């Protein structure tokens, strides 16, 4: 069970009971935050970050398989809105992130989903939606915490 009182900064906590529920939650997040949102995804390896992005892609009507861009660093998908999937796992510092063309990536239209976003914490713009996925009390369960960082927060 997820402790709903532990939501970060007034955010919300959701419990999912498997990959399909995590994908459905992703669709709800798009509905809530819009098709131009930046999602900063946090969680350990295997927590469900890519699964969440798969749900975003499905909600946007993307037909091609969505996989983690750990080695490519960036995958782009066409759907009802463009989806840019960024994985910062292999990048060591903000200098490497900027060399990736960070500003241009964030300026592209559509949704940006950033795995290992804590590596770019100082580079994330105001209005970024943070999503943390943590293991729940059963193997398939996840506690998903969602909050938005606004200017001056």
**Total number of domains in the chain:** 1
**Sign of the alpha-carbon dihedral angle for 48, 50, 51, 52:** positive
Give a yes or no: residue 44 inside a domain. yes
Asked whether residue 153 is domain-assigned, the answer is no
Question: Does residue 127 lie within any of the structural domains?
Answer: yes
Residue carrying the six token digits 């969505």? 66
Whether 57 and 84 have beta carbons less than 8 Å apart is answered as: no
What span, in angstroms and rounded, lies between the C-alpha atoms of 37 and 109? 9
Q: What is the CATH number of the domain that holds 106?
A: 3.40.50.300
pLDDT for 4-21, tens place per residue? 545 455 689 999 999 999
What CA–CA distances, in Å, run from 143 to 51, 136, 148?
14, 6, 17
Could you report the per-residue pLDDT of 101-122, keeping only the tens digit for each?
A: 999 999 999 999 999 999 999 9
Q: In this structure, is residue 33 part of a structural domain? A: yes
What pLDDT score does 1 carry? Answer: 61
Instruction: Flag whether 23 is in a domain.
Output: yes
Q: What is the pTM of this model?
A: 0.91
List the one residue out of 136, 128, 149 whose CA is nearest residue 36.
128
Question: Who contacts 103 (Cβ-Cβ below 8 Å, separation ≥6)?
Answer: none
Q: pLDDT digit string (tens) for 50-65?
A: 999 999 999 999 999 9
Q: What is the span of the domain harbouring residue 128?
A: 4-148
What residue ranges in the chain does DSSP mark as E strands? 12-16, 38-42, 74-77, 83-87, 111-115, 129-135, 142-148
Choice among 8-12, 15-19, 34-38, 81-85 with the minimum mean pLDDT: 8-12
Q: Does residue 73 fall inside a structural domain?
A: yes
């Amino acid at each position: 069970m997820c402790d709903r009182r532990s939501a970060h900064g007034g955010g919300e906590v959701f419990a999912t009971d498997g990959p399909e529920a995590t994908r459905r939650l992703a669709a709800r997040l798009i509905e809530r935050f819009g098709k131009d949102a930046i999602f900063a995804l946090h969680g350990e390896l295997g927590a469900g970050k890519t699964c969440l992005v798969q749900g975003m892609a499905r909600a946007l009507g993307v037909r091609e398989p969505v996989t983690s861009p750990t080695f490519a660093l960036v995958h782009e998908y066409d759907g009802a809105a463009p989806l840019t999937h960024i994985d910062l796992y292999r990048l060591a510092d903000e200098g490497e992130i900027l060399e990736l063309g960070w500003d241009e990536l964030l300026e592209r239209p559509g949704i940006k989903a950033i795995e290992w976003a804590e590596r770019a914490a100082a580079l994330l713009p105001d209005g970024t939606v943070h999503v943390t996925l943590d293991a729940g009390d059963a193997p398939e369960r996840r506690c998903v915490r969602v909050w938005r960082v606004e200017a001056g927060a």
